[in-house]
Amino acid sequence: MVLLSLTASHHELDLDALERLSTGSLSVGRTVVGSCRPVQGTVVISTCNRFELYLDVDAPLDGDTVRHATRHVAELVAESSGVTPEAAAASFTVRSGTEVAEHLFAVASGLDSMVVGEREIAGQVKRALAESRADGTTSKTLELLFQTASRTSKRIGRSTALGGAGRSLVAVGLDLAGRSMRPYPLSRAVIIGTGAYAGAAVAALRARGCNDIRVYSQSGRAQSFAASHGTGAVGVDTESLVEALGDTDLVVSCSGARRRAPGPTAEVVPGAEASLAYVLDAASVARARDRAAARAGDEPEPDALVILDLALHRDVEPSVADVEGVLLYDLASLTTHAPATERVVVDQARAMVRDAAALFEETRMGRAADAAVVELLDEAEREVAVEVGDALARLSAELAPHGQVPTASDHDEIARSVRRRVHAALHDRIVAVRATALAEARAAEAAVVRGAERALRAVPVTD
């Protein structure tokens, strides 16, 4: 078995490239498991700043199976997202062994996020595993990996200052918005979307004293979300949203629900920017601002409308920033305002991640090491048997002149003494053999993955 991850995040790609890569990502996990027999399981994490596939590959150590599976996955990602196979392959970082666990544990703990220490990612990692279970694409190894990631995240949250910092993209955005609008207790907010970020936004707004919150969704879930979160529902069509924006101070958009536009633009090559319709475009926002100005009459100009676009697949058309009286912050701009985290806190959390990853990997690779230890123990038992036989022979020779023979008690006492001495001397050898077996297994797996990474750069595959 080889544990493999293909990851692309805001560290390696700009957000536009990451958005194109992750388009259609929800179906990739099912497709990979269904079409590539060696892949025993897969979990996909697709968030506002990352697209990652974790693969459990049943492969021999010659690496051919892993290389083929890796190339195949890159082609499937390319097909689903509308990018070329070469672009998909070039976008991924390939990890294996301890690197896989260490990376995932860091992600789940918020150490790899745009806002270091953000807590929403822990829930997204858990949901990725839950979705994999629902699709029937997980495996025992991936279950253990992701469950350990969640436990590590919780432990870091409890044990370090990172967990109490309250950092998140939502918090950064609301802090930034608060500088340009009325106090939150006097403000009205509209949330676009009904997912995890929407729920986090409601909680964060209420914590700041804002209770006039409404939700909009094209999915039809606005009413149920409003009922469960105690908010108002705007509606499900564009006009109802535009009407709501006329007396709104803040929009938090986090649906990621851009859709293929009807008409001629639907024929554009999949993945092209022009083929995706924004949830909120410049014309709609301008119309809402005009209505707000008309209602104000001779009164002072309405306050600025602040829009936070937290979706990777942008909900809000970038040209909305050009509408008079509107302040638009997207993921890239919010990242520049993220607070710095103390180095000592990050180092403490990363040390915990490394320890957890090493322990996980030792457990996962333990079968090879255990086999070597069992062989050593069998060898020790053979040594014990020989030494006990020799000791009994000497005792028999001593007792023979007296007409006596060793008793069962003599046999047991000699066996206990010999076994105690042999096993005491065996401890250091067990530690050394186990370490060597683990190192050899890791080296073999690393060699396989290096070959897989080279093959990934060589897509497309035709066999």
Contact between residue 74 and residue 33 where contact means Cβ atoms under 8 Å apart: no
Cα torsion through 201, 203, 205, 206, rounded to 10 = 160
d(CA 94, CA 344): 29
Q: Is 210 among the catalytic positions? A: no
- What is the Rg, in whole angstroms, of the alpha carbon atoms belonging to the chain? 30
Cα torsion through 341, 345, 347, 348, rounded to 10 = -160
Contact between residue 359 and residue 365 where contact means Cβ atoms under 8 Å apart: no
CA-wise closest residue to 34 among 108, 181, 144, 136: 136
**Structure tokens, 252:** 């938090």
CA-wise closest residue to 341 among 89, 135, 166: 166
CA-wise closest residue to 6 among 22, 17, 30: 22
Which member of 36, 48, 210, 254 is catalytic?
Answer: 48
Contact between residue 316 and residue 253 where contact means Cβ atoms under 8 Å apart: yes
Active site residues: 48
